[in-house]
Amino acid sequence: MTKARVTVIDIAKAAGVSKSTVSLVLQGSSLVNEGTRAKVNAVMRELGYVYNRGAANLRQASAKSRIIGVVVNDLTNSFFAELAVGVDVVVQSAGFVQFLSNTSESIDRQREVVASMREHGISGLIVSPARATDAADFKPLVAAGIPVVVVVRNLPGAKVSSVVSDNRAGMMSAVKHLSELGHKRIAFLGGFPDTAVFDDRLAGYRSGIEAAGLDYHQELVISSAPSRAGGVEAIGKAIALADRPTAAVCFNDAVAFGVCDGLRARRLEPGSDFAVVGFDDVIEAQAAVPALTTVSVDPQGIGRRGAQLLLKQINAGKAEAETVITAVRLVVRESCGARKSIKSKQDSE
């Protein structure tokens, strides 16, 4: 009776790791730590697994598909859903299919899904990197000639293309607007401080504070998860300050929505008792109550531009790194109190 052939799945189960991790070990990838590599190799010897490298190379050569990998760090944020829609519009019209995955800010998860996408023969990859992603993580893709476009979060030193919004200019315009409304204590709320986009937006905030002739106060910079829950947490800390702010620019719209929730929980009304400005201009921003004043970056537009850049590289047969910085604009609605201020001024005239 013929003995069943040992598969990668058998090895993964026996070693207690994912199939993608086993594949990385077989490829000799530096992304796997030595302890895991030793365990996987031991299981392969025990089960008598023989890696058919010739067949693997043949599969890889013939597996060039019409698939575009899209990896985002937080699909619960509607910004990334809109970005994925933008990507889909472009790749679908070009005859490609989008393979979408969420990492939830996990480096390990990101490595696994990228490895899995490579196994499926993706033609290119669009990725918003998880926190603390290292440029070296994408070296194997670059070496293999697979085009990569990083979106939203820049990745210095990765030698891949990128599409990011003008974070500094956007945050400067938000601070300028609030200062012109008379606010002196303006907070910067939300975001993880170990990402390039946080650094850019904080730099824009600081430049805006300086340009407005205001004093920079470190206690007014309150980081948190870039989510609705993070916004609730951040505004709680801001309101608890002895000399509390009267307005805030938020890392993104998700944080801004949470800030509004946190204000209402304390019987404060956004736009009346406290001015709130977001960043992104997701679809819900206009429908929110009060409607959210925010910096519009056009997430669908970023998705479309990233997809266009990727397809350009795929069609050219080479992945030359390009950087695209998209323009932003401030969209004034009710949450900053501007319309109320204008109405009060008109009533007094």
Please give the pLDDT value at position 119: 83
Residues 281 and 335 grouped into a single domain: yes
Pairing of strands 329-331, 293-296: antiparallel
Residues 231 and 189 grouped into a single domain: yes
Per-residue pLDDT 10s for the chain (349 aa) are: 445 678 888 898 999 988 888 888 887 776 788 889 889 889 988 887 866 655 555 455 444 568 999 999 999 999 999 999 999 999 999 999 999 999 999 999 999 999 889 888 899 999 999 998 988 888 888 888 889 999 999 888 888 999 999 999 999 999 999 999 999 999 999 999 988 899 999 999 999 999 999 999 999 999 999 999 999 999 999 999 999 999 999 999 999 999 999 999 999 999 999 999 999 999 999 999 999 999 999 999 999 999 999 999 998 887 788 999 999 999 999 999 976 544 444 344 4
Residues 198 and 157 grouped into a single domain: no
Please give the pLDDT value at position 347: 45
Rounded to the nearest 10°, the torsion over CA 194, 169, 251, 87 is -90
Please give the pLDDT value at position 150: 96
Residues 172 and 280 grouped into a single domain: yes
Write the Ramachandran bin of 182: left for phi over 0, alpha for psi from -120 to 50, otherwise beta.
Answer: left
78 inside domain? yes
- Strand pairing partners for 326? 165
Please give the pLDDT value at position 60: 52
Residues 340 and 227 grouped into a single domain: yes
189 inside domain? yes
| pTM score | 0.77
Surface-to-core class of residue 145, CB atoms within 10 Å of its CB (0-12 exposed, 13-18 middle, 19+ buried): exposed
Residues 22 and 35 grouped into a single domain: yes
Residues 282 and 193 grouped into a single domain: yes
311 inside domain? yes
Please give the pLDDT value at position 1: 41
Residues 245 and 208 grouped into a single domain: yes
Residues 52 and 80 grouped into a single domain: no
- 3-class SS of residue 251: coil
Domain that holds residue 286: 167-297+331-347
Please give the pLDDT value at position 193: 92
H helices within 63-155, ranges in order? 78-93, 107-119, 139-143
CATH number at residue 157: 3.40.50.2300
Cis, bond preceding 290 (omega within 30 deg of 0): yes
Please give the pLDDT value at position 61: 45
Residues 269 and 222 grouped into a single domain: yes
Residue of 261, 301, 279, 259 lying closest to 174 (CA atoms):
279
Residues 34 and 23 grouped into a single domain: yes
Residues 188 and 250 grouped into a single domain: yes
CB atoms within 10 A of CB 308: 18
CATH number at residue 45: 1.10.260.40
Number of domains in the chain: 3
